[in-house]
Amino acid sequence: MSIRYKVILPFLLLTLVVAAIGVYVVTRLVSSSLSERLKNQLIEAGRVVSDTFARQEIQHVENARLIAFTAGVAESILAGDSESLDRLARPVASAKGIENVVIIDENGQDQLHLLLQSDGLFQEINTPTGFGGVDMVQALLLGNPDNTLPRRAFGVNPMDERYYYYTAVVVPLDGKVVGVVMVGTSIDTLLPALKSTSLADVILYVETGQPVASTLAGQVNNQAELASLSLSLDSYLEIRASSEVVHGETLEFGGRTYSIARGPLAIGNDRLGVFGVALPADFAVEAGSTTRDNYVLLFTAVMLVVVLLGYQISRLIINPLMSLLRASQAIAGGDLDQRTGIQARDEIGQLASTFDEMTERLQERTNELEKTYKVLEQMDRTKVSFIEVAAHELRTPLTLVKGYTQMLAMKFKDEPEMMALTQGILDGSDRMQEIVGSMLDVSRIDSKLLKILPEDTNLGVVLARVFKSFREALQERNLTLGMQGVDGLPIIQADPDQLYKVFYHLVINAVKYTPDGGRITVHGHLVETGDGQNEVEFVVSDTGIGIDPAHHELIFEKFYQTGEVYMHSSGKTKFKGGGPGLGLAIARGIVEAHQGRIWVESPGHDETNFPGSKFFVRIPAKVKADEQRQQSEA
Ligand code: ADP
């Protein structure tokens, strides 16, 4: 993942989490405060309903007493004079706005029944109400005239079959109860008043859990609708007996959700029923969701801003890193002129300027190295041309020395002492000729003038020639030289004279650096390279002093020798015999001219345990084109 996303993504995730928590908390706060408000409002509405009933009761008691204590009322009840009762009670009823007045005599018989009509006039009803038999009236008739308290109850007026809230007081005369005055207000009048004072819809439950009336949705007394508001009898009785308003219930009515609170309708000592107050809960839910929507919008906007800001900040951080990356890649690719170009003072700026300084120094060093390399190259060229000149210049006098010595040898062939001396001169000249030959080989390799003349080469024959040159030395030094696998090798296209030199130098080294009695083996085999080509591999192993791994590369450089030169013994094939340090350089030059490879493997230099060395030579096994065809056809 790119560093840009590594910076932005956690930032984005964090913002998302914070925003989600924010929206959740705010919405919860708002909705819980809204439901708290709803609850308080419901409780308040319940209190207002109770208070309104209490005020209605006071009104009723006042009005009922006004009629009961009007002069002549008690006497008229006693006398059973309905007419005069009507005359006395009617003006009070109409003055006080009473809806329903029922006066009952001590026998429980109706004496007067006035019912307010829709035209505002009272109608006297003669149909018996039967109220004389109800508990409330019976209790008053049997009570003490002086201290009997008013009673109240809900009842249905048989005339219009509507529910009325009645309050009844006794009519005393001479220490006796002569009758009862009942004053009633229709529930249809009461409920709208309750609604307008409590600011909530009101439901009334009387006697059972069935509501008798409700202002809900304007459907007052619609039985089917009312049924949906009913309470179980148990909860009705429980609420009626309780002392507080119970809230928390919601119900669906007329397509709206209401939150409902219910409380006992208690006046004086009487528990008349249960009232319910209902407020639409939609506003709380809607307000909650509107608030949530608003906050979601707000947080989304804030988040967008934060993300944009984050992106800009990440750019500020990442862009310098990117330039640093680009510069370092360019420098790694060799363009040392590249600089980051970052000027900031922060840590990245410091990193960039350190990096630029490093590049500056690297460039300086590289320039110095290039110069030194050129000087060294020049020196090497001088050295090579010196070798070349020296070798050429030495060749002629050497030939002369050799020629004259041979002539001397001819002349003194019968004098053994002289023969020994001339033979010594001849051996030295041969050795010098060999060294001059090596010098010429090296200078040809260095000046890329080495010519490879490929021909059919039997590597076994080449090796046999090499072995032959060392026969005497091997005997002298008691060394064994073995050859393995060479016979099975194919005839390849190579320069046999040059390959002779390669094996000559490898074998002479093995002879020189292996102690007397040691063993030298040349092992040859064919190896397959990955691309389907074959290579001939030779391994020249010895049981000699070995080579430290630090020198494994360097020994292939010309004039490179491990150990001290003066420690070398003088003989060409003696143990640790000296040499000019050219053998391996020539071997490498020739092998590479054949597109091959040469390398050494040895655990290290040890002149006590003689770990030995293995020199590997690999040359592509090139065969003639027609042979190749034959091979592939076969
Ligand atoms: P030299 O003329 O000194 O043999 P070479 O180029 O042939 O020069 O070898 C370079 C050096 O590599 C030698 O001086 C010797 O230290 C080391 N070397 C070469 N062949 C062997 C070997 N078979 N065992 C141990 N050391 C070797």
Nearest CA to ligand 1 atom 3: 581
Counting atoms of ligand 1 from 1, which one is nearest the CA of 586?
6
How far is residue 91's CA from residue 46's CA, in Å, rounded to a whole number? 35
Q: How far is the CA of 445 from the centre of ligand 1 (A)?
A: 19
Provide the β-strand partners of residue 165.
154, 185
pLDDT surpassing 80 at residue 3: no
Confidence band for 249, pLDDT divided at 50, 70 and 90? confident
**pLDDT level of residue 218 (50, 70, 90 thresholds):** low
Smallest CA separation from ligand 1 atom 7, residue: 583
pLDDT digits (tens, 9 = 90+) for 233-242: 898 988 888 8
Q: What are 135's two structure tokens? A: 């508990």
Q: Residue 507: pLDDT above 90?
A: yes
Averaged pLDDT, 487-501? 93
Ligand 1 midpoint to CA 61 (Å): 138
Q: What is the pLDDT of residue 392?
A: 87
Å from CA of 509 to ligand 1 middle: 6
Range with lowest mean pLDDT among 1-5, 253-257, 390-394: 1-5
Q: What own/partner pairs with CB < 8 Å and gap ≥ 24 does 574-579 have?
A: 574/477, 574/512, 575/477, 575/512, 575/513, 575/514, 575/515, 575/516, 576/512, 576/513, 576/545, 577/512, 579/508, 579/512
Contacts of range 380-384, beta carbons closer than 8 Å, 24 or more positions apart = 380/446, 384/442, 384/443, 384/446, 384/447
Question: Predicted confidence band at 295 (pLDDT cuts at 50, 70, 90)?
Answer: confident
Contacts of 183 (CB under 8 A, 6+ apart): 60, 63, 64, 67, 98, 100, 101, 166, 167, 168
**Closest alpha carbon to 242 in 252, 231, 227:** 231
Q: If you average pLDDT over residues 601-609, what whole number do you get?
A: 95
| Cα 239 to ligand 1 centroid, rounded to whole Å | 116
Work out the angle at residue 68's Cα, subtended by the Cα atoms of residues 63 and 73, and round it to the nearest 5 degrees: 130
Mean pLDDT for 608-626 is 88
**Amino acid sitting at position 357:** E
Assess whether pLDDT exceeds 90 at residue 67.
yes
The closest of 392, 495, 408 to 452, measured between CA atoms, is 495
Q: Which atom of ligand 1 is nearest to the CA of 584?
A: 6
| Of the candidates 477, 497, 499, 475, the residue with the CA atom closest to the CA atom of residue 489 | 499
Distance of CA 206 to the CA centre of its chain: 65
The confidence band for 567, taking pLDDT boundaries of 50, 70 and 90, is low
Kindly state the average pLDDT of the residues 438-445.
90
| pLDDT tens, residue by residue, 407-417 | 999 999 899 99
Query: Mean pLDDT, to the nearest integer, of 578-584?
Result: 87
Of the candidates 259, 258, 257, 262, the one whose C-alpha atom is nearest the C-alpha of residue 276 is 262
> What's the confidence (pLDDT) of residue 629?
59
Nearest CA to ligand 1 atom 23: 510
Strands 519-528, 480-484: pairing is parallel
Span 24-48, mean pLDDT?
81
Rg (CA), the chain: 65
- What is the rounded average pLDDT of the residues 5-14? 77
Tokens of 115: 């019912």
pLDDT at site 198: 86
**Which residue lies with its CA nearest to atom 19 of ligand 1?**
509
Nearest Cα residue to atom 21 of ligand 1: 509
Mutate to test the pocket of ligand 1, among 556, 561, 572 (most ligand atoms within 8 A of CB): 561
Rounded to the nearest whole angstrom, what is the distance from the C-alpha of residue 275 to the centroid of ligand 1? 119
Q: How far is ligand 1, taken at its centre, from the CA of residue 493, in Å?
A: 28
Please report the atom of ligand 1 found closest to the CA of residue 579: 2
CA pair distance 466, 319, nearest whole angstrom: 68
The per-residue pLDDT for 118 is 86
What pLDDT band is residue 630 in, cutting at 50, 70 and 90? low
| Helix (H) / strand (E) containing 165 | strand 162-173
Q: What residues flank ligand 1, with Cβ below 6 Å?
A: 505, 509-510, 513, 542, 544-545, 547, 555, 560-563, 579-585, 613
Q: Which atom of ligand 1 is nearest to the CA of 540?
A: 23
Calculate how far, in angstroms, residue 433's C-alpha sits from the geometric centre of ligand 1.
20
**Greater model confidence, 578 or 476:** 476
Q: How far is the CA of 170 from the centre of ligand 1 (A)?
A: 146
CB atoms inside a 10 Å sphere around CB 443: 22
**From atom 18 of ligand 1, which residue's Cα is the shortest distance away?**
509
Cα-to-centroid distance, 436 and ligand 1 (Å): 18
**What is the 19 CA–ligand 1 centroid distance (Å)?**
78
Output b/e per residue, 414-423; b: 16+ Cβ within 10 A.
Answer: eeeeeeeebe
Tell me: the pLDDT tens digits for 134-150? 988 999 998 887 778 89
Q: How far is the CA of 561 from the centre of ligand 1 (A)?
A: 6
pLDDT of residue 375: 96
Determine the residue of 555, 560, 613 to mutate for testing ligand 1's pocket, defined as the one with the most ligand atoms within 8 A of the Cβ atom.
555
Between the CA of 563 and the centroid of ligand 1 the distance, in Å, is 10
Candidate from 12-26, 57-71, 360-374, 479-493 with smallest mean pLDDT: 12-26
More confident residue, 506 or 43: 506
Which span out of 30-44, 331-345, 500-514 was modeled with the highest average pLDDT?
500-514
**Mean pLDDT in residue range 442-470:** 92
Model confidence at 580, pLDDT cuts 50, 70, 90, reads confident
Which long-range contacts link 365-368 to residues 24+ away (Cβ below 8 Å)?
Answer: 366/336
Give 14's pLDDT tier (boundaries 50, 70, 90). Answer: confident
Give, using CA atoms, the residue closest to atom 8 of ligand 1.
Answer: 581
Q: Could you identify the atom of ligand 1 that is nearest to the CA of residue 578?
A: 3
Return the best residue to mutate from 507, 584, 610, 616 for the ligand 1 pocket (most ligand atoms within 8 A of CB): 584
List phi, psi (to 5°) of 441.
-60, -50
Q: Which residue has the higher pLDDT, 617 or 341?
A: 617
Using CA atoms, how far residue 296 sits from 26, 33, 254, 608, in Å, is 10, 19, 32, 87
Looking at residue 220, what is its pLDDT? 44
Alpha-carbon torsion 412, 416, 421, 427, what sign? positive
- The minimum-distance atom of ligand 1 relative to the CA of 562 is 16
Most confident of the following: 10-24, 68-82, 250-264 = 68-82
Q: How confident is the model at residue 22 (pLDDT cuts 50, 70, 90)?
A: confident
Ligand 1 atom with least separation from CA of 544: 24
CA-closest residue to ligand 1 atom 13: 561
Closest residue (by CA) to atom 14 of ligand 1?
561
| 429 Cα: distance to centroid of ligand 1 (angstroms) | 23
Ligand 1 centroid to 555 CA: how many Å? Answer: 7
Torsion sign across C-alpha atoms 601, 606, 611, 617: positive
Burial of 75 (0-12, 13-18, 19+ CB in 10 A): middle
* Average pLDDT of span 392-408: 92
d(CA 15, CA 17) in angstroms, rounded, equals 5
Atom of ligand 1 nearest to the CA of 558: 6
First and final C-alpha spacing in the chain? 55
Assess contact for 219 and 213: CB atoms under 8 A.
no
Q: Is the dihedral of CA 78, 83, 88, 92 positive or negative?
A: positive
Atom of ligand 1 nearest to the CA of 561: 14
Find the mean pLDDT for residues 421-437: 91
* Strand positions, DSSP E, 187-238: 201-205, 211-214
pLDDT reported for residue 5: 75
Query: Which are the contacts of 15, defined by CB distance < 8 A and separation ≥ 6?
Result: 303, 306, 307, 310
Res. 277 pLDDT band, cuts 50 70 90: confident
Tell me what pLDDT residue 259 has. 86
Q: Which two tokens stand for residue 316?
A: 């500020």
Dig out the tokens for 300 from the structure.
């989304």
Q: Please give the number of the atom of ligand 1 that sits closest to the Cα of 585.
A: 6
Sign of CA dihedral 268, 273, 274, 277: negative
Give pLDDT, residue 219: 46
pTM: 0.52
Produce one character per residue of 566-585: b if its CB has 16 or more CB atoms within 10 Å, e if not.
Answer: eebeeebbbbbbbbbbbbbb
Tell me the pLDDT of the chain averaged across its residues. 87
Query: What is the predicted pLDDT for the residue at 101?
Result: 94
Across 206-342, the runs of DSSP E, i.e. the strands, are 211-214, 246-253, 256-267, 270-280
Tell which atom from ligand 1 comes closest to the C-alpha of 615.
23
For residue 309, the CA-to-ligand 1 centroid distance in Å is 70
| Residue 564 predicted with pLDDT over 80 | no
Q: How many whole angstroms from 377 Cα to the centroid of ligand 1?
A: 24
Residue 565 has pLDDT above 60, yes or no: no
**Model confidence over 93-138: pLDDT tens digits?**
989 989 999 999 999 999 999 999 988 889 888 888 889 999 889 9
Q: Cα separation of 476 and 467, whole Å?
A: 14
- The number of the ligand 1 atom at minimal distance from the alpha carbon of 542 is 23
